[in-house]
Amino acid sequence: MDGSAPEGKTGTVNRPHGAHRKMTEAHAVTEAHAHAAPTGFIRKYIFSLDHKVIGIQYYFLALVAVFVGMFLSLLMRIHLVYPGVNLPLVGEIKPETYLTLLTMHGTIMVFFVLTTAPQSGFGNYFLPIQIGAPDMAFPVLNMLSFWTTFLSFMVMLAAFFVEGGAPLSGWTQYPPLSAIPSAGPGQGLGMDLWIISIALFCGASLMGALNFITTVLDMRAKGMTMMRMPLTCWAWFVTAILALLAFGVLLAGGILLLLDRNAGTSFFVPGGLVVNGQLIKHQGGSPLLWQHLFWFFGHPEVYIAILPGMGVASQLLSTFSRKPIFGYKAMVYAIMAIGGLGFLVWGHHMFMSGMDPRSAFAFSVMTMAIGVPSAIKTFNWLGTIWRGRVRFATPMLFAVGFVSLFVSGGLSGPFLAQPQLDNYLHDTYYVVAHFHLIMGVAAIFGIFAGTYYWFPKMFGRMMNTTLGQAHFWFTFIGTYAIFMPMHYLGMAGHPRRYAQLDVVQFLHPLIPVQKFITYAAFITIAAQFLFVFNFFWSMWKGKKAEINPWEATTLEWTVPSPPPHDNFDGKTPVVHHGPYEYSVPGAAKDYTMQTEEAAVPAH
């Protein structure tokens, strides 16, 4: 921290007035979070103030959400290849029902899985421990953030059960379809519930972002400078900044959309609109305004989902290659660059909207530019693995899988960054393949990698290696079998969002590809039950874990498994090293913990 004595020395340090004030403020923040260990069940496990319990609550919420989302995608895949089948409890899936499934699948996966598990789940649990703090800066705000997210999820699920059902206007909810209650089934109360749910989620995310940023800036242990933080902490920190700036815009847009629907305003509804033979009494609104607001949030959201996975991959590739991360500072600056440039590229989602070609060119250039920091990270990951003594433990497999999927999905991005190519590919399965690989499944692999890596610390037991590796190979091969053929569907002109393939003649030759994708999806989804069994069985019956089973260097591996209430049992750690001191020449072991006193030259 600022004003501390040099390492290895003691004595009085004369601090300037500003430094003294900063230390006083930091101490005040630390005192504000302090709370005694709870004794009752409700305070300990339900309305807990402990960041570790809250992190696990977020994780289990995301686990429930991902299976809801997978079930909806399974229904869509079944309908595409067996359009007339009557399913138990579901019946026949009509085209409007298909659009509802599509809308809710995208919404639940993006918000309640990809945003929730990597940042709010793992971030809440491990950020304070990795920087040497006893808790998050604002524990009560942390608890409120989780329960607001939980309420948001319940409101979203309630949309299925109201009159008319859930909305069908896609997870992007473009007006005027989303702004007119009479526009179709699900566009009434179900659509209102969707907006309210997302507004609640935005509020929860803003609370969480403030907590993360304050914790990183004010609660690091002595010696834990910003450039000694693990890359996971940098990823969570930058992600929190993105969330703070992006979710407020989506919240504002959602409020305006709700007013258009219920208060007679015309922010997004143009004049002269006729729906179901009736003239809509609105005038002067702009549907494109919603697109600008939504995608100003939406593209940073891509990095809100993927940056924590990048941090986890960096952590694991270094740990299991037994080498320092290649180019630590370059990795930090690349994370910052990705976060900054992420706010300058939203227009590439709108090339088909009639955008001025000069604006399209500017967005195209910025979109290509954001590939530079991503490439830096990718080559640094490869440099980390190169000539390392790689240990192919299950977490390492998923980290390598993350890099593979991120690169494979990213390679299709430059094509979509060209306005003329995007005009052809935009509304096809090519885009579905692109964003599922680079944002969806890559982030999921980051979640799996983090789960297998940190499970021993969270629950004190090891997950089964055989089941874990079987889960990896089924999921890795299945993911490519599902999404790589979608690129070819897109290049063949197969539109996305079509529910009835058998009634469109030019799509008939592509139905066998859809069947192959569906069968691959069946196998891949079934493989996820290997993970669920392994997870819950290992919680109770798994082999007991050592304090540091992976021989890692960061602070979470210096405390018992699971960690005590205040993480460090009242003893604040002192940090002497960076987070990736592996294979240091002259060291007795091939790893040096961050808390070990400097006895050998650091990298």
**For 107-144, what is each residue's pLDDT tens digit?**
999 999 999 999 999 999 999 999 999 999 999 999 99
- Per-residue pLDDT at 241 exceeds 90: yes
Tell me the pLDDT tens digit for each residue of 443-472: 999 999 999 999 999 999 999 999 999 999
Percent of residues, the chain, with pLDDT higher than 90: 83
Percent of residues, the chain, with pLDDT higher than 70: 93
Q: How far is CA 30 from CA 26, 51, 200, 470, in A?
A: 6, 14, 28, 44
**Distance from C-alpha of 82 to C-alpha of 105, rounded to nearest angstrom:** 19
Handedness of CA 333, 339, 343, 347 (dihedral sign): positive
Lowest model confidence (mean pLDDT) among 38-52, 219-233, 247-261 = 38-52
Q: What integer pLDDT is reported at residue 35 of this predicted model?
A: 61
Average pLDDT over residues 495-524: 94
Instruction: Pull the structure tokens for residue 347.
Output: 């227009």
Q: What integer pLDDT is reported at residue 601 of this predicted model?
A: 52
Tell me the pLDDT tens digit for each residue of 55-66: 999 999 999 999
What is the third-level CATH fold of 324-537?
Cytochrome C Oxidase; Chain A (1.20.210)
Amino acid in the structure at residue 147: W
457 touches 561 (CB < 8 A): yes
- Per-residue pLDDT at 17 exceeds 60: no
- Per-residue pLDDT at 8 exceeds 60: no
**Distance from C-alpha of 48 to C-alpha of 119, rounded to nearest angstrom:** 18
- Per-residue pLDDT at 80 exceeds 90: yes
- Per-residue pLDDT at 44 exceeds 90: no
Indicate the pTM of the whole model: 0.92
Q: Which residues of 478-510 are buried (b: 16+ CB within 10 A; e: fewer)?
A: bbbbbbebbbebbeeebebeebebeeeeebeeb
**Distance from C-alpha of 55 to C-alpha of 116, rounded to nearest angstrom:** 10
Choose among 554, 555, 561, 559: nearest CA to 570: 559
Neighbour-count burial of 126, counting CB atoms closer than 10 A to its CB (0-12 exposed, 13-18 middle, 19+ buried): buried
Q: What integer pLDDT is reported at residue 16 of this predicted model?
A: 44
Write the DSSP string, 214-240: HHHHH-PPBT--GGGS-HHHHHHHHHH
Q: What integer pLDDT is reported at residue 85 of this predicted model?
A: 87
Q: How far is CA 503 from CA 95, 424, 489, 498, 511, in A?
A: 12, 22, 17, 10, 11
- The mean pLDDT value of the chain amounts to 92
Q: What integer pLDDT is reported at residue 507 of this predicted model?
A: 93
Domain at 50-273, CATH homologous superfamily: Cytochrome c oxidase-like, subunit I domain (1.20.210.10)
Q: What integer pLDDT is reported at residue 147 of this predicted model?
A: 98
The ranges of the chain annotated as CATH 1.20.210.10 are 50-273, 324-537
Average pLDDT over residues 521-537: 97
Choose among 489, 369, 514, 381: nearest CA to 434: 489
Q: Which residues of 283-301 are buried (b: 16+ CB within 10 A; e: fewer)?
A: eebebbebbbbbbbbbbbb
Q: What integer pLDDT is reported at residue 34 of this predicted model?
A: 56
pLDDT tier for residue 12 given thresholds of 50, 70 and 90: very low
